[in-house]
Structure 1
């Protein structure tokens, strides 16, 4: 677990160097760390469904971020791309979305305020494919 004295810049460097995430500090909010979608994507879902999804997983789980205020979790994935249109109706029905522009990563300030935290912190560069996550979570609802 990171030190309580860790700075946003130190955390950002950790994400870049140790985890291979193309993270940057958001210029307008110096305590916010973001990743532009492209080489990294995210599937976002309600926390209840996310908890059920994690419990059902048989394979390796990628990085997962909790957003307590909105009661949603973000599952980081490999490269983002267009969401398959065939999945759109089911995703809308279950309130599942994909990050379209950027993903906000937990910063030390976010964690201290209880705003954003890691459920499953990335220990390696592994991130499952977006399609794999989407199809797996929708299988739970069939």
Structure 2
């Protein structure tokens, strides 16, 4: 009696998957971000709540917040969503951030991502409409989530006054 020989045929990974893996390694090595590949969506995501946090708002408010943060030399990475209607600011992790810090900004559609959520990280290969408004830079300290929220709060209250 002879033992059956099991053969498996493997194919190389598709180009888009190799490109995503390379982009993932780039983000992890250059910035130390906990990036994962979402194969089904062909995109990269970064886990939020530890190393990074994210504040999302309408693009019109985001452009004003980004401008004010630039004046204060607190500019950090900003991502435009595929619908071009929203921007996400990547910030330092703020795991002790009280829930009420974004209270009063819900009417302005400003949201702080909960711990354990993910933000899409733009790549040339994955695309899907996600793009950098302001790309991250090596050795650049991310802005505090508190600074982004405080700037949004100030601009929203000035618009009402």
What is the match of residue 39 of structure 1? 51
What is the match of residue 8 of structure 1? 20
**Structure 1 residues 91 and 84, CA gap change in structure 2 (3 angstroms):** farther
TM-score, structure 1 normalization? 0.83
- The count of corresponding residues between Structure 1 and Structure 2 is 135
Bigger-Rg structure (1/2): 2
Alignment map for 1:1-142 (pairs within 5 Å): 7-26=19-38, 28-29=39-40, 31-37=42-48, 38-57=50-69, 58=71, 59-69=73-83, 71-81=85-95, 83-100=97-114, 101-111=117-127, 113=128, 115-125=129-139, 126-142=141-157
| Counterpart-to-counterpart distance in 2, 1:35 and 1:7 | 17
Structure 1 segments (4+ residues) deviating >2 Å = 80-89, 107-111
Instruction: Show structure 1 runs of 5+ residues with no match.
Output: none
Instruction: Show structure 2 runs of 5+ residues with no match.
Output: 1-15
**Structure 1 residues 88 and 64, CA gap change in structure 2 (3 angstroms):** closer
